[in-house]
Structure formats: structure tokens, C-alpha cells
Amino acid sequence: MRNIFVIGAGRSSGALIQYLLDHAEMLDAQVIVGDQSLALAEGKIGAHPRGKAIAFNIFDDTQRQEQIRKADIVLSLLPADMHFVAAKDCLTFGKNLVTASYVSKEMASLHEEVHQAGLLFLNEIGVDPGIDHMSAMEVIHRIQNGSGELTGFWSYCGGLIAPECNNLWGYKFTWAPRNVILAGQATAIFLEDDRIRYRNYMRLFSEITEIEVPGHGKFEAYANRDSIKYLPLYGLEGIKTLFRGTLRFPGYCRLWNAFLKLGLTDDSVKMQNSEGMTRNDFIFSFAPSSGGVNNRDTLAQFLGEPSTGEVMEKITQLDFFSDRKIMLQNATPAQVLQSILEEYWVLGEDDKDLLVMQHRFDFRQNGKSIRIISSMVDKGHDTTITAMARTVGLPMAIATKLILQGKITATGVVIPTLPQIYEPVLAELHELGIRFTEQQFEISESK
């Protein structure tokens, strides 16, 4: 019997473990799930006869090596910087490895050895990175095989909340809150009209793009880190525009820009006496100098927002103008903001999340300028089988099955830009309801 070893039973593991258990008999496999918390692992396995939960500590060398030695394939759901220790053991014991994380420099350095050993370390096979790579490459290869010449590529993704579960602010945390609070603090880089563009943090949430997803309405996007590295990854050298963006519901970026402009997302400075501050004290610590007068109106004026407008109303509804205490010691503004938002932006028991992805491809073919827009929206089933867990976990799980079945034969440290990987994975995601719909139309030259 085969042994599939899953490291980590956290937030995005639900759909992955369920899929593996559902296919365990077909694969003649046992699914071992290891987590620091035995209870968490047990919860994911339930009473399934082919599942086994163990308490597992990645830093316990003896235990880690024993489990990896016994495994046929290892799936790591650990934080990105912890994969490498498992990867080295996989190399030592000759095991394949699957992760949903970006290939680190350390991981990349193993490529030649992994390849020589005839092994596959498949990374970036979650949602973003993962489904974005696969769904984009499928279209890019189709265009290139049809002698189309790509002139522009835009790719957007966002982890959001189902509209019927939405709140006043258009966002709830479906992912690590701290990452949301600090999002974008590195300068974004992208290609536009043949020129590499740099957009610093202070501009990020005010220079946004609006897109429409058929059947789901409008979304707004802000630039997502370094898009330029996708030029070689996707074989897009020579393209004029390459832009990756993060999606939010309309209105979010304007509110976030107000937080940013005030300095509430600043994580570089600790506030004195933050624990004794009221929320009102907190927000007015960032007020402009205005001759001793500090009230909602001077704040609104500084932000360039109407006093009774949407942004000021959203800030007010977060109880920022109240005497409630902050209660955090020596906190940075970003930490205080996070603690306040976590009170209002948390998923409820009946909430369902939403994963939205859209690619736009502009290309010339047979003398015509053509645009393809490819969109995918997945809604979570419940708080365990969330859209985030489905879209991160199912590609990993499907790829694991395909590797065990010998249908993926690539070796080395690989990401899923190869047809032998993305074709069967996308086909099975389609069956599982994770589907892209395409619009294609001719565009005028001036667009």
C-alpha cells in the first residue's frame, strides 16, 4: 500500500485531505496527516479507514526523517520558509514533493540534483501561485500554437467573500490578516506599453484598475508585487504589457488608501502608551496639524473625502471615534489597525468565501487584434471547504494523484507551466467545479 504524507492540517488543508481520502482506495494508498496539533490532524481525517493522524514536529529530525523515509510522496502545507528542511530529506530518501509555495532560492538550488535523481519537486501548484500559472499557460500556448503574437497580458486574483455574506467594508479575512494589513509595502513593478514601471506603496491603492467578471459585476485591482518575473516564466519576452493585480470589491482601495495616507498601516514605529489609548486617540495621532482643532471634519478634509461620505462612514463604523481602549502594548499602527479590523472583518459561521481570477490576453493573429478574457469564480461550501481551501488544495491533490499514477513524468524543481501538468489538472478541476469561462472578441487597434 502506498503512503501519502501530508505535512500540515491547517486552514487550507480541508479540501486537499478530503480529495486524497476519497481517492485513497483507487490509489491503494494510506493518507498520513501530520500536524503539531494532533487534534487538528484527527479532525481532518475523521474516521476514514485509510486516514491516519499523527502529532508531527518538522524540527524533530528523527521523526521527520522516519516519516519521509516511509512515504511514497510528501505534500508540504508548511509556511514557505519551512519546506526546505523537508525537501532535503525527500532528496536523501528519493521521494517526490508537492507544495503550493513560490520556489525559493534554496529550493531552486536543488533542481539539478532532484533532476539527476529522477525525482519531481512540484511547487506553486495552489491557486496563486498555481491555478493562475496553469490557466494562463493553457491560453498562452493555444495562442502561440495558432501563430498568435501576444501584445499584452493582465492577470488578476483575489480571495474575497461571497457577495451575500459581504459587509460594509467589502472584505473579510480569508487569509492571514497581517499579510492583508501589510500588503503592497514593497514597490510594485510591471510592464506597460513597452516600459518597466515602478509604483511605490504610497501610490498603490490610488492608482487602480477596474475590471468586470461576467455574472459577478465589477472589481478593482491594485498592482501585485513584481510582474516582470513572469516574462521568462511564461515565455512572454517581447510582450508590451504584463500586469498582475490583486482584486477587491469596489470601494475597498479608496478606504485602504485613507488608512495608508494617515499612516495606520505603518509597521515601522511603536506607539507609546498604545495600551492606554482610546480608538479616538489612536486615529487622531495621525491627524494633520490644524491649529489645535481635530475632529472628523479636519480628518475628512485631510483625506480629501466628504465628511459624510462613504469612506468617513466606513471609518466611523469601525468605532474609530469611540472611547474604547486599544489594549495592545507597544503596538505599531499596523498592529492596532489589525486588532480593530479583526473585530469586524472575521468570517462568520455561515459565511462563504469567494475566489476570483481573471486573465486578459491581447494578441494579433491573421492581421486581427483579438482579446480573450478568461474568468473563474469559486465559492466556498462552508468554513472548512472554503474556496481558498479548494483552490489551494485541489490542484495539489490532483497533481499528487497524477504523479502516483505516473501520468506526470517531469523531473527536477518544477512549476506547473508544462502542458503535461496543467492539462490534466485543469481538466479535473473543471469536473470539480473550478471552471474558467472565456470571452473572445476582436478589438479595434486604438484600444
Say which residues have a Cβ less than 8 Å from residue 267's Cβ, sequence separation at least 6: 181, 182, 185, 332, 333, 334, 335
Report the nearest approach of a second copy to the CB of residue 286 (Å): 6
Cα(395)–Cα(409) distance, rounded to whole angstroms? 17
Would you say 285 or 339 has its CB closer to a second copy?
Answer: 285
Q: Is 395 left (phi over 0), alpha (psi -120 to 50) or beta?
A: alpha
Report the nearest approach of a second copy to the CB of residue 199 (Å): 7
Cα(299)–Cα(314) distance, rounded to whole angstroms? 13
Interface residues with a second copy (CB under 8 A)? 186-187, 189, 192-193, 195-203, 207, 209, 228, 260-261, 263, 266, 268-269, 271-273, 281, 284-289, 292, 294, 333
Would you say 300 or 402 has its CB closer to a second copy?
Answer: 300
Would you say 185 or 383 has its CB closer to a second copy?
Answer: 185
Would you say 168 or 196 has its CB closer to a second copy?
Answer: 196
Would you say 129 or 245 has its CB closer to a second copy?
Answer: 245
Let me know if 241 is exposed, middle or buried by CB neighbors in 10 A (0-12, 13-18, 19+).
buried
Report the nearest approach of a second copy to the CB of residue 197 (Å): 6
Would you say 199 or 364 has its CB closer to a second copy?
Answer: 199
Query: Which of helix, strand or coil describes residue 107?
Result: helix
Q: Is 44 left (phi over 0), alpha (psi -120 to 50) or beta?
A: alpha
Q: Is 369 left (phi over 0), alpha (psi -120 to 50) or beta?
A: beta
Report the nearest approach of a second copy to the CB of residue 229 (Å): 11
Phi and psi torsions of 146, nearest 5° = -95, 20
The residue with cell 505603518 is 266
Cα(244)–Cα(190) distance, rounded to whole angstroms? 8
DSSP β-bridge partners for residue 364: 149, 369
Report the nearest approach of a second copy to the CB of residue 363 (Å): 17
Report the nearest approach of a second copy to the CB of residue 186 (Å): 7
Query: Which of helix, strand or coil describes residue 119?
Result: coil
Would you say 36 or 298 has its CB closer to a second copy?
Answer: 298
Report the nearest approach of a second copy to the CB of residue 185 (Å): 9
